[in-house]
Structure 1
Amino acid sequence: MQLGASALLMSLALMTLTGCGMTDTNSSDDIPTAGTSNSEDAADEAERISSELYDLIGVKGKASDTGPGVSECGGKDPEKYFTIFHPWSFTPASADELDGVMERLKTELPKHGWKVVEYGPDTSMNKNLSLTADNDEKKHSVKIVQMTKREPPKLSLTVVSGCYQVPDGEKVYRF
Protein backbone atom coordinates (compact mmCIF):
# COMPACT_ATOMS: atom_id res chain seq x y z
CA MET A 1 0.00 0.00 0.00
CA GLN A 2 1.35 3.44 -0.85
CA LEU A 3 2.12 5.94 1.89
CA GLY A 4 -0.57 8.37 0.70
CA ALA A 5 -3.24 5.69 0.83
CA SER A 6 -2.11 4.67 4.31
CA ALA A 7 -2.27 8.25 5.53
CA LEU A 8 -5.74 8.66 4.04
CA LEU A 9 -6.97 5.46 5.67
CA MET A 10 -5.57 6.54 9.03
CA SER A 11 -7.20 9.97 8.75
CA LEU A 12 -10.53 8.38 7.92
CA ALA A 13 -10.16 5.88 10.73
CA LEU A 14 -9.35 8.54 13.31
CA MET A 15 -12.23 10.72 12.13
CA THR A 16 -14.49 7.69 12.56
CA LEU A 17 -13.15 6.91 16.01
CA THR A 18 -13.22 10.44 17.40
CA GLY A 19 -16.85 10.78 16.42
CA CYS A 20 -17.87 7.57 18.08
CA GLY A 21 -19.79 7.02 21.25
CA MET A 22 -17.12 5.13 23.16
CA THR A 23 -16.91 6.29 26.75
CA ASP A 24 -13.97 7.15 29.03
CA THR A 25 -12.79 10.28 27.27
CA ASN A 26 -11.21 13.29 28.90
CA SER A 27 -13.10 15.76 26.71
CA SER A 28 -15.40 15.58 23.73
CA ASP A 29 -12.45 16.14 21.35
CA ASP A 30 -10.28 13.30 22.73
CA ILE A 31 -9.93 9.81 21.34
CA PRO A 32 -11.56 7.39 23.80
CA THR A 33 -9.30 5.65 26.30
CA ALA A 34 -8.65 1.95 25.67
CA GLY A 35 -6.60 1.19 28.78
CA THR A 36 -3.00 0.11 29.28
CA SER A 37 -1.17 -2.17 26.85
CA ASN A 38 1.98 -2.52 24.83
CA SER A 39 1.81 -2.06 21.06
CA GLU A 40 2.14 -5.75 20.20
CA ASP A 41 -0.67 -6.91 22.50
CA ALA A 42 -2.94 -4.08 21.32
CA ALA A 43 -2.26 -5.04 17.69
CA ASP A 44 -3.11 -8.66 18.50
CA GLU A 45 -6.42 -7.46 19.98
CA ALA A 46 -7.22 -5.48 16.80
CA GLU A 47 -6.53 -8.60 14.73
CA ARG A 48 -8.82 -10.67 17.00
CA ILE A 49 -11.58 -8.10 16.51
CA SER A 50 -11.01 -8.14 12.74
CA SER A 51 -11.29 -11.94 12.82
CA GLU A 52 -14.61 -11.69 14.68
CA LEU A 53 -15.84 -9.23 12.05
CA TYR A 54 -14.71 -11.60 9.29
CA ASP A 55 -16.84 -14.32 10.87
CA LEU A 56 -19.86 -11.98 11.02
CA ILE A 57 -19.60 -11.25 7.27
CA GLY A 58 -21.00 -14.75 6.85
CA VAL A 59 -20.00 -15.55 3.26
CA LYS A 60 -17.05 -17.40 1.77
CA GLY A 61 -14.22 -15.26 0.54
CA LYS A 62 -10.71 -14.04 1.17
CA ALA A 63 -9.39 -11.39 3.54
CA SER A 64 -6.37 -9.31 2.60
CA ASP A 65 -3.21 -10.01 4.55
CA THR A 66 -2.54 -6.55 5.98
CA GLY A 67 -1.35 -6.16 9.52
CA PRO A 68 -2.21 -3.49 12.07
CA GLY A 69 -0.31 -0.26 12.45
CA VAL A 70 0.45 2.09 15.31
CA SER A 71 -0.41 5.79 15.32
CA GLU A 72 -0.32 8.70 17.75
CA CYS A 73 -3.18 9.75 20.00
CA GLY A 74 -3.82 13.33 18.97
CA GLY A 75 -2.12 15.76 21.34
CA LYS A 76 -0.83 13.14 23.79
CA ASP A 77 2.79 12.17 24.48
CA PRO A 78 3.74 9.89 21.53
CA GLU A 79 6.21 8.02 23.75
CA LYS A 80 3.42 6.89 26.09
CA TYR A 81 0.16 6.87 24.10
CA PHE A 82 -0.87 5.21 20.86
CA THR A 83 -3.79 3.87 18.90
CA ILE A 84 -3.95 0.82 16.65
CA PHE A 85 -5.50 0.80 13.19
CA HIS A 86 -6.10 -2.30 11.10
CA PRO A 87 -7.19 -1.71 7.50
CA TRP A 88 -8.12 -4.82 5.53
CA SER A 89 -10.46 -5.94 2.79
CA PHE A 90 -12.74 -8.88 2.12
CA THR A 91 -13.32 -10.24 -1.39
CA PRO A 92 -16.19 -12.74 -1.68
CA ALA A 93 -15.85 -15.97 -3.66
CA SER A 94 -18.40 -14.52 -6.10
CA ALA A 95 -19.56 -10.92 -6.48
CA ASP A 96 -23.26 -11.66 -5.93
CA GLU A 97 -22.44 -12.94 -2.43
CA LEU A 98 -22.02 -9.32 -1.29
CA ASP A 99 -25.75 -8.75 -1.82
CA GLY A 100 -27.33 -8.27 1.58
CA VAL A 101 -24.05 -8.47 3.57
CA MET A 102 -24.18 -4.86 4.78
CA GLU A 103 -27.81 -5.20 5.87
CA ARG A 104 -26.93 -8.43 7.69
CA LEU A 105 -23.96 -6.72 9.41
CA LYS A 106 -26.22 -3.84 10.43
CA THR A 107 -28.47 -6.40 12.16
CA GLU A 108 -25.78 -8.76 13.52
CA LEU A 109 -23.22 -6.27 14.89
CA PRO A 110 -25.50 -5.02 17.72
CA LYS A 111 -26.00 -8.64 18.83
CA HIS A 112 -22.23 -8.77 19.41
CA GLY A 113 -21.78 -5.55 21.41
CA TRP A 114 -21.45 -3.09 18.51
CA LYS A 115 -23.55 0.04 18.16
CA VAL A 116 -24.14 1.11 14.55
CA VAL A 117 -23.64 4.88 14.56
CA GLU A 118 -23.76 5.52 10.82
CA TYR A 119 -25.25 3.61 7.89
CA GLY A 120 -25.91 4.66 4.32
CA PRO A 121 -24.25 5.77 1.10
CA ASP A 122 -20.91 7.54 1.47
CA THR A 123 -19.95 10.76 -0.31
CA SER A 124 -17.88 9.08 -3.02
CA MET A 125 -18.83 9.26 -6.67
CA ASN A 126 -19.93 5.61 -6.45
CA LYS A 127 -22.11 6.24 -3.37
CA ASN A 128 -20.70 3.12 -1.69
CA LEU A 129 -22.76 1.74 1.16
CA SER A 130 -20.92 2.50 4.41
CA LEU A 131 -21.39 1.37 8.02
CA THR A 132 -19.64 2.71 11.12
CA ALA A 133 -19.99 0.91 14.44
CA ASP A 134 -18.49 1.30 17.92
CA ASN A 135 -17.89 -1.30 20.59
CA ASP A 136 -17.67 0.42 24.00
CA GLU A 137 -16.62 -2.78 25.78
CA LYS A 138 -13.78 -3.52 23.36
CA LYS A 139 -12.90 0.17 22.92
CA HIS A 140 -12.77 -0.19 19.15
CA SER A 141 -14.57 1.23 16.17
CA VAL A 142 -15.00 -0.16 12.66
CA LYS A 143 -15.82 1.44 9.34
CA ILE A 144 -17.00 -0.94 6.62
CA VAL A 145 -17.47 0.19 3.03
CA GLN A 146 -19.09 -2.01 0.39
CA MET A 147 -17.36 -1.36 -2.93
CA THR A 148 -19.66 -3.06 -5.45
CA LYS A 149 -18.36 -1.10 -8.45
CA ARG A 150 -14.75 -2.20 -7.88
CA GLU A 151 -13.33 -5.10 -9.82
CA PRO A 152 -13.53 -7.37 -8.01
CA PRO A 153 -16.26 -6.10 -5.68
CA LYS A 154 -15.22 -6.16 -2.04
CA LEU A 155 -15.68 -4.84 1.48
CA SER A 156 -13.11 -2.43 2.85
CA LEU A 157 -12.79 -2.50 6.66
CA THR A 158 -10.82 -0.33 9.05
CA VAL A 159 -10.71 -1.28 12.72
CA VAL A 160 -9.40 1.45 15.06
CA SER A 161 -8.73 1.27 18.77
CA GLY A 162 -9.18 3.86 21.42
CA CYS A 163 -6.08 5.47 22.91
CA TYR A 164 -3.81 3.07 24.79
CA GLN A 165 -1.17 4.02 27.35
CA VAL A 166 1.95 1.85 27.55
CA PRO A 167 2.80 0.34 30.94
CA ASP A 168 5.16 2.36 33.15
CA GLY A 169 8.75 2.15 32.01
CA GLU A 170 7.87 1.11 28.44
CA LYS A 171 7.77 3.09 25.19
CA VAL A 172 5.49 2.82 22.20
CA TYR A 173 6.80 0.39 19.60
CA ARG A 174 5.76 1.61 16.12
CA PHE A 175 5.13 -0.65 13.13
Structure 2
Amino acid sequence: MKTKLHTFALALPLTLATLTGCAMTDNDSNKIPSAGTSTSSDASDAMERVSSGLYDLIGVKGKASDSRPGVMDCAGKDTKTYFRMFHPWSFYPTSASDLDKAMEQLKNELPKHGWEIIEYGPDTSKEKNVKLAADNDEKKASVRISQRPKNNPPKLSLTVVSGCYQVPDGEEVERF
Protein backbone atom coordinates (compact mmCIF):
# COMPACT_ATOMS: atom_id res chain seq x y z
CA MET A 1 0.00 0.00 0.00
CA LYS A 2 2.82 2.45 0.83
CA THR A 3 4.42 1.85 -2.56
CA LYS A 4 1.19 2.54 -4.43
CA LEU A 5 0.53 5.69 -2.39
CA HIS A 6 4.13 6.85 -2.86
CA THR A 7 3.92 6.21 -6.62
CA PHE A 8 0.64 8.13 -6.79
CA ALA A 9 2.14 11.04 -4.83
CA LEU A 10 5.03 11.24 -7.29
CA ALA A 11 2.90 10.75 -10.40
CA LEU A 12 0.19 13.30 -9.57
CA PRO A 13 2.39 16.43 -9.86
CA LEU A 14 3.80 15.14 -13.16
CA THR A 15 0.31 14.50 -14.50
CA LEU A 16 -0.93 17.89 -13.35
CA ALA A 17 2.09 19.64 -14.83
CA THR A 18 1.48 17.88 -18.12
CA LEU A 19 -2.17 18.87 -18.14
CA THR A 20 -1.39 22.55 -17.60
CA GLY A 21 0.15 22.66 -21.06
CA CYS A 22 -2.97 21.44 -22.83
CA ALA A 23 -4.49 23.50 -25.62
CA MET A 24 -7.54 24.46 -23.55
CA THR A 25 -6.93 28.17 -24.15
CA ASP A 26 -8.18 31.27 -25.82
CA ASN A 27 -5.02 32.50 -27.59
CA ASP A 28 -1.85 31.46 -25.76
CA SER A 29 -1.12 27.72 -25.74
CA ASN A 30 0.54 27.98 -22.30
CA LYS A 31 -2.18 30.06 -20.68
CA ILE A 32 -4.65 28.28 -18.41
CA PRO A 33 -8.17 29.50 -19.27
CA SER A 34 -10.53 31.11 -16.82
CA ALA A 35 -13.28 28.77 -15.65
CA GLY A 36 -15.28 31.65 -14.17
CA THR A 37 -16.25 32.49 -10.60
CA SER A 38 -17.10 29.75 -8.13
CA THR A 39 -16.63 28.50 -4.62
CA SER A 40 -14.33 25.50 -4.20
CA SER A 41 -17.31 23.37 -3.19
CA ASP A 42 -19.37 24.27 -6.27
CA ALA A 43 -16.33 23.79 -8.53
CA SER A 44 -15.82 20.35 -6.95
CA ASP A 45 -19.41 19.43 -7.80
CA ALA A 46 -18.86 20.64 -11.39
CA MET A 47 -15.67 18.54 -11.63
CA GLU A 48 -17.58 15.46 -10.46
CA ARG A 49 -20.19 16.10 -13.18
CA VAL A 50 -17.42 16.23 -15.80
CA SER A 51 -15.97 12.95 -14.50
CA SER A 52 -19.44 11.40 -14.43
CA GLY A 53 -19.94 12.39 -18.06
CA LEU A 54 -16.65 10.73 -18.96
CA TYR A 55 -17.71 7.60 -17.07
CA ASP A 56 -20.92 7.51 -19.13
CA LEU A 57 -18.89 7.67 -22.37
CA ILE A 58 -16.82 4.59 -21.46
CA GLY A 59 -19.67 2.37 -22.59
CA VAL A 60 -18.64 -0.89 -20.92
CA LYS A 61 -19.65 -2.37 -17.59
CA GLY A 62 -17.31 -1.74 -14.73
CA LYS A 63 -16.70 0.24 -11.58
CA ALA A 64 -15.12 3.61 -10.86
CA SER A 65 -12.84 4.23 -7.91
CA ASP A 66 -14.26 6.30 -5.09
CA SER A 67 -12.34 9.55 -5.09
CA ARG A 68 -13.19 13.21 -4.66
CA PRO A 69 -11.79 16.23 -6.48
CA GLY A 70 -9.07 18.30 -4.87
CA VAL A 71 -8.00 21.93 -5.01
CA MET A 72 -4.71 23.14 -6.48
CA ASP A 73 -3.15 26.52 -7.22
CA CYS A 74 -3.34 28.46 -10.47
CA ALA A 75 0.25 29.13 -11.46
CA GLY A 76 1.17 32.77 -11.13
CA LYS A 77 -2.11 33.82 -9.47
CA ASP A 78 -3.07 34.81 -5.93
CA THR A 79 -3.61 31.54 -4.03
CA LYS A 80 -6.28 33.12 -1.80
CA THR A 81 -8.62 33.95 -4.66
CA TYR A 82 -7.70 31.66 -7.59
CA PHE A 83 -7.71 27.88 -7.77
CA ARG A 84 -8.08 24.87 -10.06
CA MET A 85 -9.75 21.54 -9.45
CA PHE A 86 -8.25 18.13 -10.17
CA HIS A 87 -9.99 14.76 -9.98
CA PRO A 88 -7.91 11.58 -10.33
CA TRP A 89 -9.93 8.38 -10.58
CA SER A 90 -9.80 4.91 -12.10
CA PHE A 91 -12.18 2.75 -14.08
CA TYR A 92 -12.07 -1.04 -13.66
CA PRO A 93 -13.97 -2.95 -16.38
CA THR A 94 -15.96 -5.98 -15.24
CA SER A 95 -14.01 -8.03 -17.78
CA ALA A 96 -10.31 -7.38 -18.47
CA SER A 97 -11.05 -8.02 -22.14
CA ASP A 98 -13.21 -4.86 -22.16
CA LEU A 99 -10.28 -2.54 -21.38
CA ASP A 100 -9.39 -2.01 -25.06
CA LYS A 101 -13.05 -1.48 -25.89
CA ALA A 102 -13.38 1.14 -23.13
CA MET A 103 -10.41 3.14 -24.44
CA GLU A 104 -11.59 2.88 -28.04
CA GLN A 105 -15.07 3.98 -26.97
CA LEU A 106 -13.61 7.08 -25.29
CA LYS A 107 -11.48 7.85 -28.35
CA ASN A 108 -14.59 7.72 -30.55
CA GLU A 109 -17.10 9.39 -28.20
CA LEU A 110 -15.10 12.26 -26.70
CA PRO A 111 -15.11 14.38 -29.91
CA LYS A 112 -18.88 13.91 -30.24
CA HIS A 113 -19.27 15.53 -26.80
CA GLY A 114 -17.12 18.64 -27.22
CA TRP A 115 -13.73 17.14 -26.36
CA GLU A 116 -10.75 17.73 -28.66
CA ILE A 117 -8.27 14.87 -28.57
CA ILE A 118 -4.81 16.41 -28.46
CA GLU A 119 -2.80 13.25 -27.89
CA TYR A 120 -3.38 9.55 -28.48
CA GLY A 121 -0.99 6.63 -28.62
CA PRO A 122 1.48 4.55 -26.62
CA ASP A 123 3.50 6.16 -23.85
CA THR A 124 7.25 5.75 -23.45
CA SER A 125 7.06 3.11 -20.71
CA LYS A 126 8.22 -0.43 -21.37
CA GLU A 127 4.54 -1.48 -21.21
CA LYS A 128 3.65 1.04 -23.97
CA ASN A 129 0.41 1.94 -22.19
CA VAL A 130 -2.03 3.72 -24.48
CA LYS A 131 -2.65 7.29 -23.38
CA LEU A 132 -5.23 9.82 -24.44
CA ALA A 133 -5.37 13.54 -23.61
CA ALA A 134 -8.31 15.77 -24.47
CA ASP A 135 -9.52 19.30 -23.83
CA ASN A 136 -13.06 20.61 -23.60
CA ASP A 137 -13.15 24.40 -24.08
CA GLU A 138 -16.84 24.65 -23.13
CA LYS A 139 -16.30 22.83 -19.83
CA LYS A 140 -12.88 24.49 -19.33
CA ALA A 141 -11.48 21.07 -18.49
CA SER A 142 -8.77 18.68 -19.64
CA VAL A 143 -8.51 14.94 -19.16
CA ARG A 144 -5.54 12.60 -19.36
CA ILE A 145 -6.36 8.90 -19.61
CA SER A 146 -3.91 6.02 -19.42
CA GLN A 147 -4.80 2.44 -20.20
CA ARG A 148 -3.15 0.08 -17.70
CA PRO A 149 -3.67 -3.51 -18.92
CA LYS A 150 -0.85 -4.96 -16.77
CA ASN A 151 -2.25 -3.63 -13.49
CA ASN A 152 -3.99 -6.11 -11.24
CA PRO A 153 -6.82 -5.51 -11.91
CA PRO A 154 -6.51 -3.85 -15.33
CA LYS A 155 -7.80 -0.28 -15.38
CA LEU A 156 -8.06 3.10 -17.01
CA SER A 157 -6.45 5.89 -14.96
CA LEU A 158 -8.11 9.26 -15.50
CA THR A 159 -7.17 12.71 -14.24
CA VAL A 160 -9.50 15.61 -14.95
CA VAL A 161 -8.26 19.18 -14.38
CA SER A 162 -10.20 22.44 -14.60
CA GLY A 163 -9.26 25.90 -15.74
CA CYS A 164 -8.65 28.65 -13.15
CA TYR A 165 -11.58 29.66 -10.99
CA GLN A 166 -11.84 32.89 -9.02
CA VAL A 167 -13.74 32.80 -5.73
CA PRO A 168 -16.64 35.26 -5.31
CA ASP A 169 -15.82 38.64 -3.75
CA GLY A 170 -15.23 38.43 -0.02
CA GLU A 171 -14.43 34.68 -0.02
CA GLU A 172 -11.19 32.70 0.02
CA VAL A 173 -10.24 29.42 -1.61
CA GLU A 174 -11.34 26.46 0.51
CA ARG A 175 -8.63 23.75 0.38
CA PHE A 176 -9.49 20.05 0.37
TM-score exceeds 0.5? yes
Amino acid at match of 1:67: R
Letter in 1 for 2:57: L
* Number of the residue aligned with 1:173: 174
1:9 paired to 2:47 = no
Structure 1 residue runs of 5 or longer lacking an equivalent are none
Q: For the residues of structure 1 that align with 2:41 and 2:126, how far apart are their CA atoms?
A: 37
Which residue matches 1:75?
76
Identity of paired residues, percent? 64
Separation of aligned partners in 1, 2:13 and 2:68: 13
CA distance in 1, matches of 2:26, 2:42: 20
Q: How many residues align?
A: 173
* One of 13, 16, 20 as aligned partner of 2:22: 20
Please give the alpha-carbon distance, in whole angstroms, between the structure 2 residues aligned to 1:62 and 1:140: 23
Contact map agreement 2:129 2:148 (CA 8 A) in 1: yes
How big is the alpha-carbon RMSD for the aligned residues of Structure 1 and Structure 2? Answer: 1.6
Q: Structure 1 residues 92 and 111 mapped into 2: Cα distance closer, same or farther (>3 Å)?
A: same
Distance 1:171 1:114 in 2: 31
Q: Is contact 2:25–2:32 with CA below 8 Å preserved after alignment?
A: no
SS in 2 for 1:104: helix
Alignment CA distance shift 1:117-1:95 (3 Å): same
1:56 matches 2:57: yes
**TM-score, length-normalised on structure 1?**
0.92
Task: Give the 3 Å change call, closer, same or farther, for CA 161–63 of structure 1 in structure 2.
Answer: same
